[in-house]
Structure 1
Amino acid sequence: MKILGLIPARGGSKGIPGKNIKMLGSKPLLQYTFEAAESSELLNKVILSSDDEDIIHIAKQLELEVPFKRPDHLAEDSTSSLEVVKHAVNYYLERGIQFDAVCLLQVTTPCRKPGLIDECILKFQDNNFDSLVSVREVPEDFNPHWIFEENNGSLKIATGEEKIISRRQDLPKAYHRDGAIYLTKTEVLLNENSLFGKKIGFVNTSASPYVNIDTPEDWKKAEEMLSKLKS
């Protein structure tokens, strides 16, 4: 299976200005994800998709391939990851190069355990999933079967069930995406216009350190986590 590793990093971050190339410890944030991708033995190519000249400059210094500059209309706050991935896939298709799948690697999740990318790829291949995502377990108190949504001034169980599951032991496991890995077949991206498709695999990363950097508080958490990992 031929797999494209895609690292998206646009400019214009509002919560943390210059986030994608801001120094986290001794490295720009982008470098953590690039090093994880470079250590993979199963990604056939790793590229950056960015609209920002400063980010592109840093990427090239790291010897991360930048085959194109992302169009401005695909670098807005409202731009979806799906649009960014499809743009990269179509860039290569127009040049007669096909990939069977794309592995989206977000810069904002820098703490991937060693070997995670290849672990995900092997599970993805072996089970013929449409997609595979890395996930973490949702704490029981926030299990969707115990969550309520507002409904015309009253509450309803978020899952749509009429009766709540009363015993903690009866709750099914629930997961949330951690942002580290999104693997999707190219045919699902293009034909179904989806990052997920119908058959979604997962790898549980709950035992590993985790941060998804979006706010200054997240950045501080990342710095503290990095310090602990070094000690």
Structure 2
Amino acid sequence: MKRLCTICARSGSKGVINKNIRELAGKPLLAYSILQARASQLFDAIAVSSDCDKFLRLANHWGAEYLIKRPDFLATDEAPKIPVIQHCLKSVEEVSKMNFDVIVDLDVTSPLRYISDIKEVIDLLETKQVSNVITGTPARRSPYFNLVEINGQGGVQLSKPLSKPIFRRQDAPKSYDMNASIYAWKKEVLIQSQTVFHEDTLLYIMPAERSVDIDSELDFQFVELLMKKRGDYDGSNIL
């Protein structure tokens, strides 16, 4: 069974300029996912997809084996991620002459994952024989208890009220935040997908301290602090 790791690194970040290559704890953010994929020894190929030649050169420096130039229509703010991964898969298969069975995408902006997280996600996918696996962390707000919406009349209501009200968050059904860390698919599912949600999609649960998705200056500072605290900057020594 052949596995491809994809890492998608668009250059046009608006919230934090060039965040995918911004230095974090001594390395560009992009480097962490590449190093984790290499250290895991789980993949037959590691590919980085980007619209920017500078990003691709950097990816090559840190060990990516396949550098996929993304077409402009897949590099806009509105472009969904799944077509980007599909394009990357197709391009790598054409160049490498390999056919992959499993595709695992590591999100650049979630560098706190461990190697063991990647391994467990792949094990779930391959042993349970499901379409795909996504990752998440226990939600800080519950749609059944303290996550609210403004309704059509301007009032406030619970996002997902229960037929019988609850008065403690602990009594609410468990909810999870997708943490944008790891996505794994069987190839035959990915090439036909427009969504990450299928009838048999499984969730791999990660703790909050490995689930920070960098989207702001504060996130950068927080992630760097956590990296320094655990003493392993890219998770490659935590198997």
Structure 1 length as normaliser, TM-score?
0.89
- AA in 2 matched with 1:143: S
Tell me the SS of whatever aligns to 1:13.
Answer: coil
What is the RMSD computed on CA atoms of the aligned residues? 2.1
Aligned to 2:235: none
Cα deviation for residue 136 of structure 1 reads 0.6
Cα deviation for residue 205 of structure 1 reads 1.1
Aligned to 1:73: 73
Does the aligned pair in 2 maintain the 1:132–1:202 contact within 8 Å?
A: yes
Cα deviation for residue 215 of structure 1 reads 0.9
Cα deviation for residue 174 of structure 1 reads 1.2
Q: Distance in 1 between matches of 2:67 and 2:22?
A: 22
Aligned to 1:13: 13
Does the aligned pair in 2 maintain the 1:132–1:196 contact within 8 Å?
A: no
| Equivalence map 1:64-213=2 (5 Å) | 64-92=64-92, 94=94, 97-139=98-140, 142-146=141-145, 147-153=147-153, 154-159=155-160, 161-206=162-207, 208-213=209-214
Q: Distance in 1 between matches of 2:68 and 2:127?
A: 32
Cα deviation for residue 7 of structure 1 reads 0.3
Tell me the SS of whatever aligns to 1:224.
Answer: helix
Tell me the SS of whatever aligns to 2:88.
Answer: helix
Q: Distance in 1 between matches of 2:142 and 2:174?
A: 8
Q: Distance in 2 between matches of 1:90 and 1:218?
A: 33
Structure 2 length as normaliser, TM-score?
0.86
Cα deviation for residue 27 of structure 1 reads 0.9
Cα deviation for residue 229 of structure 1 reads 2.4
Mark the runs of 5 or more structure 1 residues left unpaired by the alignment.
Answer: none
Does the aligned pair in 1 maintain the 2:40–2:115 contact within 8 Å?
A: no
- Tell me: CA distance 1:167–1:14, structure 2 relative to 1, closer, same or farther (3 Å): closer
- Tell me: CA distance 1:208–1:215, structure 2 relative to 1, closer, same or farther (3 Å): closer
Percent sequence identity is: 32
Aligned to 1:46: 46
Q: How many residues align?
A: 229
Tell me the SS of whatever aligns to 2:177.
Answer: strand
Does the aligned pair in 1 maintain the 2:103–2:186 contact within 8 Å?
A: yes
Cα deviation for residue 208 of structure 1 reads 4.1
